[in-house]
Amino acid sequence: MSSLVKKSILLTKLIKHANCGTKRLSSHFTYFPDNEKPVEGDTTRMNMMQAINNAMDLTLKNDPTAVVFGEDVAFGGVFRCALGLQEKYGKDRVFNTPLCEQGIAGFGIGLATAGATAIAEIQFADYIFPAFDQLVNEAAKARYRSGGQYACGGLTVRAPGGAVGHGGLYHSQSPEGLFAHVPGLRVVVPRGPIAAKGLLLSCIREKDPCIFLEPKILYRSATEDVPVEDYTLPLGRAQVLREGDAVTLVAWGTQIHVLLEVAQMAEEKLGVRCEVIDLQSILPWDEETVCNSVKKTGRCLIAHEAPLTSGFGAEIAATVQEECFLHLEAPISRVAGWDSPFPHVFEPFYLPGVPRCYHELQRLLDY
C-alpha cells in the first residue's frame, strides 16, 4: 500500500474521530419527573406540549369566551401545542394572526378588556420584544390607571423560551427578568407537564395579565402522568422539591433539573443534602419559602440561563442578603449565562450546566 493511500486512510479516521468527539447533544440536563399528583383521579401519560394543549382544550371547552391565536396556531403552531384545537372548536376561536407580535399583544388586550379570555401565542420568546410596549404600557397598567374599573386579566401570553440545543442567539433567550420589572404582570415558568397544566390554567383564570414562558426543550423531553381533570396550581408560590440542610438551591424551568442532578451528586459524593426550590412564579416570587430555607441552610446558590448581570437571580440574592444576613455562612452565589449574546456552537459552554453548578456548590461548602 502506497504511503499516500495510508495517509489518506489515517486522515479519514482522524476526521471521523474528531466529528464523533465534537458531536453536540440536544440537552444539558437529566429530566426529573414529578411523582406527586396535585389532585386525585385518573392520569394519562403526557409530555409538556400535550399538557399545555390539554389546558387550552379544557379552557375552550368550559369558557365560551376563550380564544387561542398567534402565528401558525391554526395548524398547531411550530411546537404543536395547539394541535387539533381549531378542528375541534372552529376558526372563530382558534386562528392565525399576521406576523406581528405587537399586533398579537394589542389584539389580546382588546379582547381581554372587552371581557373575553385571550390566550395569545408568541412563536418564540425571543420575538416578544416588539410587543413589549403593549404588554408593559397597556396590559400591565390597565387596572391601575382605570382605578379598577376595567382590566385585561383575561390575557395570557404564552411563549417558548430558553435553550433548546441548537437555537443560537435568536431562539434561545430567557426574557423573564425583563418582565419581572413590570408591576401589574405575572410571570410564570413551569418545569414539566404537571406543573405546566396547573400553572397555565391558573394564569388563564388570573385577574392580572400573565406571561407564561415555556422551556421549549421540555416540550417533548419532559413526560409525566398528568391528571386528566381540571386543576390549578397557586401562582406566586415556590415548591420545595428536595429537602436538605447544607445549601439552598434555587431555580426555575429547565434549570431546576440541573440543580436536582447537582443535589443528587452532592449527596452521593460529598454526603450532604441540598434543598432544591422551584420558584415557578418569577413575578410575584415566593420570598418566604426561599428565605426560610436559607435561614436553615446558611448557604444559597441561584441558577438561571439568562445572562448574569441584572438577571432575576440578582433580585433573589438582594432579598436573601437583606432577610437572612445573620444566618449566612457564605456569600450568596449565582450561576448563570454569560454576559454575551447566546452563542450557537459554544452553547454547552454558555449554559450553567451541572459541572459549573456543582463546582460552585463545592466552593460554597468550602467557604
Is residue 248 within a helix (H) or strand (E), and if so which, with residue range?
strand 248-251
**Out of 71, 101, 224, 305, which one is annotated catalytic?**
101
pLDDT one digit per residue (tens) for the chain, 367 residues: 455 444 344 434 433 433 343 343 457 899 999 988 999 999 999 999 999 999 999 999 999 999 999 999 999 999 999 999 999 999 999 999 999 999 999 999 999 999 999 999 999 999 999 999 999 999 999 999 999 888 899 999 999 999 998 899 999 999 999 999 999 999 999 999 999 999 999 999 999 999 999 999 999 999 999 999 999 999 999 999 999 999 999 999 999 999 999 999 999 999 999 999 999 999 999 999 999 999 999 999 999 999 999 999 999 999 999 999 999 999 999 999 999 999 999 999 999 999 999 999 999 999 9
Catalytic site includes residue 17: no
Instruction: Of 92, 173, 81, 79, give the one whose Cα is nearest residue 127.
Output: 173
CA atoms of 99 and 362, how far apart (whole Å): 47
Instruction: Of 237, 228, 159, 231, give the one whose Cα is nearest residue 202.
Output: 231
CA atoms of 40 and 17, how far apart (whole Å): 52
**Out of 28, 121, 138, 171, which one is annotated catalytic?**
171
CB 210 within 8 A of CB 157: yes
Q: What is the DSSP letter of 214?
A: E
Is this prediction's pTM over 0.75?
A: yes
Catalytic site includes residue 267: no
CA atoms of 234 and 280, how far apart (whole Å): 10
User: Which amino acid, 101?
Assistant: E
